[in-house]
Amino acid sequence: MEVLARVARLARRQYGLISHDQAVELGLSAQQIRTLVATGAWRVERRGVYVVGGAPPSWEQTLLAVTLPFDDCWITHGTAARLWRMRHAPEVGKIEALRPYGKVLRVSGVQLHRSRIIVPDDLSREARVPVTSRARTIVECAARLDVAQTGKLIDDYQRIDQALGLERVRACFARLAGGGHRRLFSIRTALMFRIPGYDAGESDLELRTLRTLISAGLPIPVQQHRMMLNGKRVRIDLAYPELKIAIELQSWEFHGGRESFDEDKARIGDLVADGWRGIEITARHAPPDVVRRIGGAIRHAQAAAA
């Protein structure tokens, strides 16, 4: 039957799902749909949503089943953060969905959020699931996070989208704040610290080290300093080029495992051979130790240059 073949093709693009309205549009009658369910060819996933042909379950399938019956429903908040694979996001309990204000959605296991402010920039798709954009997801999650956690979400996004990530979060915040959105303290404060020209760096360790140096009154180093070394273009995490001080942040998580870790150590050796002073900082170094080591190197270099 040609209509069933069309249904199967569409379902394959939707994790094996088909909505009642989609099936009718493709040519099936309500009675035919009931028969397919009664015979076990289709399984009811949610009201108005069916699993076709025994497609295997998945988390993405579960999320898409929530939004599929509607053309104005998106996964949001903590569930969206998990779909976007955001670190530092709040714990996921119930599936959370967003619809325009005035639209009702009562589905078992789903927490509904409604908003009067939903613009195209707030909406996206990830893994074929309608979802709030990364920026909107961060702003919504911030209500459940403290300033530091919210800042980490923003910084991770800026590392993905260095050109526009921060500004997209700022624009989304401005839209929702203007609409009377409550509980925006964390996102407001986190954005205050991220002035124009702010660089999220490559890791949380980089930002921690940078803030430690600034708080101690030491000169602000250059982030991600690019230079030629032994005929190759290299990049130093933090540097004082005029003093020839290179600071490498040895973070296993953000430096790609053993191979990249070893490359960082080899680069420090090359820098020392070229007349630089190399300093390695790890997550185990407490702020006083960071200040002592880097501050001492700065004073030594300044005295030598005098």
Residues in the chain: 306
Q: Where in the chain is the domain with CATH 1.10.10?
A: 2-55
Q: Where in the chain is the domain with CATH 3.40.960.10?
A: 204-305
Per-residue pLDDT of the chain (306 residues; tens, 9 = 90+): 699 999 999 999 999 999 999 999 999 999 999 999 999 999 999 999 999 988 899 999 999 999 999 999 999 999 999 999 998 888 888 999 999 987 766 777 899 999 999 999 999 999 999 999 999 999 999 989 988 899 999 999 988 998 889 999 999 998 888 665 667 888 888 887 776 556 666 667 887 888 788 778 888 888 888 899 888 888 888 899 999 999 998 865 544 444 555 566 778 888 888 899 999 998 889 999 999 999 999 999 999 887
Q: Which fold has domain 204-305?
A: Endonuclease; Chain A (3.40.960)
Distance CA 175, CA 169 (A): 10
Q: Which fold has domain 2-55?
A: Arc Repressor Mutant, subunit A (1.10.10)
CB contact burial 171-193 (16+ within 10 A = b; e otherwise): bbbebbeeeebeebebbeebbee
Distance CA 230, CA 223 (A): 21
Instruction: Give me the pLDDT at residue 50, please.
Output: 97
The alpha-helical segments, DSSP class H, found in 132-247 are 134-141, 147-160, 165-178, 185-192, 204-215
pTM greater than 0.75 (yes/no): no
Residues in CB range of 93: below 8 A, 6 or more apart:
78, 111
